[in-house]
Structure 1
Amino acid sequence: MPQPAEPSASHTSGSLLLRLLGAVDRVTEWVEKIILGSSVLFLAGLLIVHVLGRQLFGNGVTGQVELTQISLVIMTFSGLGFAVRRARHISMSAFSDQLSGTPRKALIIFIALGTAALMFYLAWHAGDYVLSIHDRGRTSSALQIPLWIPYLAAPVGFVLAGIQFVLTAVRNLTSRETYRSFSEKDEYDAIPDDGAL
């Protein structure tokens, strides 16, 4: 009876790398979901309480505008990595759509690595900005919230997005298929044809 062939060392190390990167992807997704979910629930609750307070008691939540702005800043920058993971980020694909095979994959890898470098560069500058706000002791006008706390979402969001672009590049370097993100293959959904124009 023939013995099954043992997997090669390169195949084993490649699958180990993908499992490790998959774990990184899941952890960052969990962090993003917690931040985004909490922000959305907080913002929805804040607005509901504010409107009810104004309608029933003639007085809304103090600092509602500041809290809304802070929540939107947090959601915007925390959503960067989530959008990249789901391949829902803006992409100018007119040129890459004309390519196929290895040239298309090479271009996707180049764009992912270039964008990752840009995200880490922006994270560095955003971190400097947050530190300068912290050192100056700036606070919001109504509630006196230290502004470095909500603005910390900017460098964190840029880092999470950069990690996702690196994961996309590595996935394309280690897989036969082409991927738009670590988990999303590069394929288009068929446009439904219902016969009506």
Structure 2
Amino acid sequence: MMGVILKRSAMALAMVGGVLLLTAIGMSLVSMLGRRLFSTPITGDIELLQMLVAVTVACFLPLCEVNDRHIRVDIVATLFPARLNRALLAISHLMLALVSALLVWRTALLAVDSLDYGAQSVQLGIPQWIPQVAMLPGLALLGVCALHKSVLQLTGDAREAATGGERP
């Protein structure tokens, strides 16, 4: 049940990321065409693109984890017994959960500092805390998904670990 909830949450967040990515692509296209055809690009397009891509990446990470689609080198894994491979996967998911928690903590502190000091983007004056806060849900969900995957690997529930809790 928890796997299904996490998978649906990750999918919803990835959909938000997809909309943000399409927005970034559209803005870049309009800016490039404006630059080439009319000599009037969108002011601050690079700033906006950087902010949108940062939030977008954070939105896609939980889906990548819940589907276990991170890049993994399995060259030597075939030499190990299944139990050892499960333990190594559990450790890797747990480490990702810890790194995610660290990223949530530090990004939240960065957002608070940006708010306190009134940090803004150079060209457009967009408060920097806005994209920083927008990254937090994706990073937090990444940690929860990684922790769930770690528990599944430790308990040996390989079927649920592979399908994300959905029945085949």
Query: 1:6 maps to which residue?
Result: none
Provide, for residues 103-161 of structure 1, a one-character-per-residue CA deviation record: whole Å limited to 9, x for no partner: 22222222212321221122111211111111111111111111111122443332121
Distance in 2 of aligned mates of 1:132 and 1:181: 40
Query: 1:86 maps to which residue?
Result: 67
- Out of 74, 94, 108, which is 2:55 matched to? 74
Give the C-alpha shift of residue 179 in structure 1: 3.5
Relative to structure 1, is the Cα distance of residues 178 and 104 closer, same or farther in structure 2, using a 3 angstrom cutoff? farther
Aligned positions, number: 165
Matched ranges for 1:11-22 at <5 A: 19-22=1-4
Unaligned ranges ≥5, structure 1:
1-18, 185-197
Q: Does residue 40 of structure 2 align to residue 59 of structure 1?
A: yes
Distance in 2 of aligned mates of 1:100 and 1:153: 42
Unaligned ranges ≥5, structure 2:
none
Query: 1:39 maps to which residue?
Result: 20
Relative to structure 1, is the Cα distance of residues 153 and 147 closer, same or farther in structure 2, using a 3 angstrom cutoff? same
Query: 1:27 maps to which residue?
Result: 9
Per residue, is there more helix in 1 or in 2? 2
**Matching residue's letter, 2:123:** A
Give the C-alpha shift of residue 94 in structure 1: 4.3
Deviates more, 1:59-68 or 1:170-179: 170-179
Q: Tell me, yes or no, if the aligned pair for 1:116 and 1:161 is still in contact at 8 Å.
A: yes
Query: 1:50 maps to which residue?
Result: 31
Distance in 2 of aligned mates of 1:20 and 1:178: 10
User: What is the TM-score of this pair, normalised by structure 1?
Assistant: 0.72
How much identity, in percent, do the aligned residues show? 24
**Matching residue's letter, 1:24:** L
Q: Tell me, yes or no, if the aligned pair for 2:31 and 2:45 is still in contact at 8 Å.
A: yes
Query: 1:113 maps to which residue?
Result: 94
Deviates more, 1:112-121 or 1:135-144: 112-121
SS of match in other structure, 1:152: helix
Aligned-pair RMSD on alpha carbons? 2.4
SS of match in other structure, 2:58: helix
Distance in 1 of aligned mates of 2:133 and 2:116: 14
